[in-house]
Amino acid sequence: MILKLVKGTIFLFLTVLGIVGNIIVFVNFINRFWRGAQKTSTHLILIHLALSNITMLLSKGLPMAIAAFGSRHFLDNIGCKVVVYLERVARDLSICTTTLLTVVQAITISSRSSLCWRFKPKTPKKILPLFLFFWILTSLKSISLLHYIAKVRENTSEAAKTNNYCSFQPESQRTKSVVLILMAMHSAMFQGVMGGASGYMLFLLHKHHQRVLYLQTSHLHKTLPEMRAAHSVLILMFCFLFFYWTDCVLSLLSNSVLETNSAMLDIQGILIIGYAFLSPFVLIQRDGVLTCCHFLWDRKSLKLYVAVIC
């Protein structure tokens, strides 16, 4: 009983705090995009990333918290299909959005004479079709899961892999191979692009650092905010890769060497929601919440001023 309470509290704490952090990021960059004089593609990408993170925390973190408290049968078959499907879509969207963020930031800090600069979106709205493409791609990629997801029953067979609140029924070897190939291709493609853009950013940051050591010009000072943003994007990328590959290694071990148990599934659950929980606080630490708080303060001040006049 105490163990269930501790596990449930941990999952609930991570979920609620992560959702609050992502809401702050979401409102902050919505405010910047609509009210700011300079609208950038990065603002829209971070808004989309926060939305993906919120979806992940609601579809994975919250059900795991409820299950950890001892209620494993709170979802029916349709509920399980919807929740697990949204979780997988949100996780794939996180890969796509983080890759796009890395690529756009690499283009942003590149010189105007470079080849990469030609691919910079002329307006932020030019990247909106990419978001639609990501949603269609991830939705179609995960649609096969709907056939194999069901609620947990008391007589669930040992062959069915359970995640405490829903079960994955055994798949045929052919179907399993096709799904694994598609997942591997998707991850390899986006993480390959992410790695290439990150390497290019590291190269540009190194060049910038070498120039700062010898030159102190106004031009370099103007580029410092962009360089700080690039540092934050790299931290986000490394956090994503850490949580993603640690989860992949544990999944591989649990399926081949180790016995899948409740503790292993709990650790994997924390790793799955880890990036969605941590990423907003990386952004908040970089930018603070002053913009968001200033916006909310202006709204409160305006309401108070109207109330006094009336």
pLDDT of 80 reads 87
Q: Pick the residue with more confidence: 226 or 271?
A: 271
In the chain, where are the structural domains located? 2-309
pLDDT of 214 reads 52
Which range, 50-54, 82-86, 165-169, 235-239, has the best average confidence (pLDDT)? 50-54
Q: Which of 11-15, 151-155, 266-270 has the lowest mean pLDDT?
A: 151-155
What is the reported pTM?
A: 0.82
pLDDT at 58 over 90: yes
* 71/73 Cα distance (integer angstroms): 6
Sequence-separated contacts (24+) of 261-268 with Cβ below 8 Å:
262/164, 265/162, 265/163, 265/164, 266/7, 266/64, 266/68
pLDDT at 162 over 90: no
Q: Is the dihedral of CA 256, 261, 262, 264 positive or negative?
A: negative
* 89/66 Cα distance (integer angstroms): 21
Q: Which of 32-36, 135-139, 233-237 has the lowest mean pLDDT?
A: 32-36
- pLDDT mean over 31-46: 82
Q: Pick the residue with more confidence: 307 or 127?
A: 127
Q: Which of 33-37, 43-47, 72-76, 84-88 has the lowest mean pLDDT?
A: 33-37
Tally of helices (H runs) and strands (E runs) in the chain: 9, 3
DSSP label at 149?
E
Given pLDDT bands bounded at 50, 70 and 90, which one contains residue 309?
very low
CATH class of the domain at 2-309: mainly alpha
pLDDT at 26 over 90: yes
- pLDDT mean over 252-271: 74
Q: Pick the residue with more confidence: 148 or 37?
A: 148
pLDDT of 246 reads 87
Given pLDDT bands bounded at 50, 70 and 90, which one contains residue 68?
confident
H or E, element range at 267 = helix 262-287
Given pLDDT bands bounded at 50, 70 and 90, which one contains residue 133?
very high
